[in-house]
Structure 1
């Protein structure tokens, strides 16, 4: 789909559907199409009709009934770069057509899910095969991880604030607080295997869960091998071990539904055991005990406080590092409008003067301990040593969105020889450059060192540590995200400089734009907040950056 937007939703749907069915759709195009299908029944019907037509046409082509059609002849003349594969009819199908089939399968599944859920509130949700939704189509979430303490996931790590999709999940240890989109709150404790079928239904295969169900979500179900627990308000706990289910009604009333048995009701204070092979529930002498969401929050806060204290000790060691020129951190005094430079001794770096930014909480959750630079014109002004041998910059940043073409992290005034620029582009790539002189026989274009696209929408509002290292002597530039190197690139010989020059500069903006005067180019303020910002006259190693992240992160 072209960058120019369609003038109506119908036209946009037509373009997006065509791109998807032709195999030309990008991930963003598919996401837009998914949104259109979710929001409008008319669009879903139109899309299904379009898929049906395409399928009929393909069947006709395979049968040979359209063999002389100009449509077929044109298609056969089209040589696609993706290569070709053979189908059973003997015709050759491009990789793009196979990709289109994948997109169509996933989107049809999405349409069926939405349509079936609209028809019947107790209809089971359909879930595409796990292999179909790895990277091509964003997974639709059904729950938010509010907080967690000492949780070990039997899968890629899920951070607090992340959205969980439908499907199976397994935690090996720890305690976690989830909020389903229906408003139901779950506390999961210890090793637990569970499947989120929908915001109103969770299957508990193993482990212990406490559920708080608001009025708006009455009818929420926890399904186990021994039966279905139906909430009628407002709180209960469940433990599952194989075919045995124990539960305690903490407040309100629940129902127990078993195959071919009438529903049983239980009220506050009752604790029972239900066995898969036994008809009659047994009374439990010891209730099922699970931590409350408040207890989880306290445990998380205690861990954060412990981590913060440990970072305070580790920071003192870093402040003794001869390479460290500046460590900027909010003073905590709302009247001072400065960032203190914690580096003492021979450092020539100034304190930072804050302009326009609003105070906010830092990554440890302390109000008034960081600055948000979203307001137009916001920045922090610094004066740095004019000459540095090598350069490393590290900052803790919370980005709301990449709303500008360029979003500043650290930009020197102007763009003279030896001056570094560090920023994030709207496309999610980190941009780093050091202005070098033009050398005869080389391009006038400046060398820029880009990271891969590191930005994901789910990172919005989260604290992340970014770092860049410029090793002039070794001829290398490296980008880092949360302690891990995401790219390493050699500095071309023509792009080398004798020294790095900083002087006057801005954190989160650009004080002296060059080359263009339009607002899209000159507006560089960061839509987000910055906590600590460290600048080194030296190239940190990958192990240095990893250690710095491990010591300074809030952790999970």
Structure 2
């Protein structure tokens, strides 16, 4: 086990005494409720405590086995203190035993009592942890379910510019109740109820719930399928209730509404009063002219087809701008690996290192992972899903510093360690870059002495609220200064300066993997599962620690619309 997976090597003496006392009382059916809760909290929060429990149960099982052996052998080796102590020492359980501590074969009743006690302890612990999950509503196990405050999802944009006081939204984000202010461009929202709204700048939409919104000014096209019937839009001078249809809405800066019904039926309540007007396909209503059975102008509002066409054009332009802007970094002599994730075809299984002078072995070999849509339409990414998905690569040499940077869309933080880039080995100078269980990004660089490491965790980045969104993550380490840094979307989020860095510790890569960790060696039947769940679209590795401005520039070049 590497140092990155533990904080200490053993439980404190105080915790060990407490744990032993609680487990003893549990076996004797004497564990008080406050102590039961304390035991529950310790076992949930401490991997060392859980391991201690397993060792305790294992010790009991070993003692029972040794008792069997000693009883069967009678006055032979197992019946002597020295013989039994030899068995215990071989099992790692007898280091602290004194001669004469165990002198005779255990009677069957003692063995049965010990076995029953251990079984009871295991069963009771099972009930301790399983039953509260089903029945209890308090305590540390009754963890609150993750909640979502969203009412809609932003599904598409074209040239969207957002007002600073109305949120900066990204495609894929859940949008909660509140104001969405689009200054220019197009943006399409799909409400959880099924209704969709295509906003055109300059517009302000205030989301009230999954079934209601307000428009103070702007223009939009609204589609309401049958199961979202009753979706309501409020304006300064009217209430519009959709009965399963498609309509357009314009609200002037002065608050005057103009309703165009393209299909189906809409109810309009002028002045938000009780008087109702029913408008059907082709009809139009505004506050100045009233209702008319004709006049709806579908061409005056952006529809899904035009949105997609404009979006595709915008994505092509964005991709070209990215490729031109990134070229400077791909030709940088400090670059070791530059993967742009641009396959030659759908079955291409190679990530080509775009650094002009890079040796062939630095090309990546794709294993398992499949090509999918990247940050824009027409841009590819690799989708990592199964425990076998990975990209194999190799980098030769030793370096004083390193920068690792990638665009990622996290689909889930499923394991304690979720690989972004890991060297096959974990020896002196090896960097390990991964997302840990909390949702933070971690960079560790191994030190030979004592198996320790330089390690820095970012703040928590990935959780249910932002899964499926594209993030640019970058981490740097310079052994000459001892400085480690994490960057997210071009902004530095954490920093650590190591006071003492071993001068012998230079960065060594060798063989490594994107999205996974290592291969089984020799007779080893399996490896630890540290596979990444999500998409990756661009990976850069430099042999120097890039400056904050350089990392910000890489982000600006490659950020999605």
TM-score, normalisation: structure 1:
0.71
For residue 250 of structure 1, the aligned residue among 262, 265, 268 is 262
Query: Which residue of 1 is the match for residue 483 of structure 2?
Result: 476
Tell me the distance in 1 between the aligned counterparts of 2:446 and 2:130.
40
TM alignment of 1:117-266, pairs within 5 A: 140-149=149-158, 150-153=160-163, 154-241=165-252, 242-258=254-270, 261-266=274-279
Query: Which residue of 2 is the match for residue 467 of structure 1?
Result: 474
Tell me the distance in 2 between the aligned counterparts of 1:282 and 1:346.
69
Query: Which residue of 1 is the match for residue 406 of structure 2?
Result: 395
Tell me the distance in 1 between the aligned counterparts of 2:185 and 2:235.
21
Tell me the distance in 2 between the aligned counterparts of 1:151 and 1:290.
19
Tell me the distance in 1 between the aligned counterparts of 2:558 and 2:441.
21
Query: Which residue of 1 is the match for residue 534 of structure 2?
Result: 528
Tell me the distance in 1 between the aligned counterparts of 2:533 and 2:413.
7
Which 5+ residue runs of structure 1 have no aligned equivalent? 20-28, 36-137
In the alignment, does 2:551 pair up with 1:545? yes
Deviation at residue 433 of structure 1 after TM alignment: 1.4
TM alignment of 1:107-506, pairs within 5 A: 140-149=149-158, 150-153=160-163, 154-241=165-252, 242-258=254-270, 261-274=274-287, 287=297, 289-330=300-341, 331-345=343-357, 347=359, 350-366=362-378, 369-438=380-449, 445-494=452-501, 497-506=504-513
Deviation at residue 487 of structure 1 after TM alignment: 0.9
Over 3 Å counting, the alpha-carbon distance change for 1:465 and 1:243 in structure 2 is: closer
Contact 1:177 1:185 in 2 (8 A): yes
Tell me the distance in 1 between the aligned counterparts of 2:259 and 2:458.
51
Tell me the distance in 2 between the aligned counterparts of 1:152 and 1:232.
31
Deviation at residue 282 of structure 1 after TM alignment: 7.8
Deviation at residue 243 of structure 1 after TM alignment: 4.3
Deviation at residue 424 of structure 1 after TM alignment: 0.9
Over 3 Å counting, the alpha-carbon distance change for 1:433 and 1:497 in structure 2 is: farther
| Structure showing greater Rg | 2
2:310 is paired with a residue whose SS is helix
Aligned-residue CA RMSD in angstroms? Answer: 2.9
Deviations 1:136-175 (A, max 9, x none): xx65211111112223133331111111112333333332
Tell me the distance in 1 between the aligned counterparts of 2:362 and 2:308.
39
2:326 is paired with a residue whose SS is helix
Tell me the distance in 1 between the aligned counterparts of 2:279 and 2:248.
13
1:387 is paired with a residue whose SS is strand
Query: Which residue of 1 is the match for residue 135 of structure 2?
Result: 11
Deviations 1:437-463 (A, max 9, x none): 32xxxx764331111111122332233
1:384 is paired with a residue whose SS is strand
Query: Which residue of 1 is the match for residue 79 of structure 2?
Result: none
> Once structures 1 and 2 are overlaid, which stretch shifts more, 191-200 or 412-421?
191-200
Over 3 Å counting, the alpha-carbon distance change for 1:498 and 1:358 in structure 2 is: same
Over 3 Å counting, the alpha-carbon distance change for 1:283 and 1:253 in structure 2 is: closer
How many residues end up aligned between the 2 structures? 429
Over 3 Å counting, the alpha-carbon distance change for 1:472 and 1:151 in structure 2 is: same
Contact 2:167 2:180 in 1 (8 A): no
Deviation at residue 5 of structure 1 after TM alignment: 5.6
> Once structures 1 and 2 are overlaid, which stretch shifts more, 242-251 or 257-266?
257-266
2:398 is paired with a residue whose SS is coil
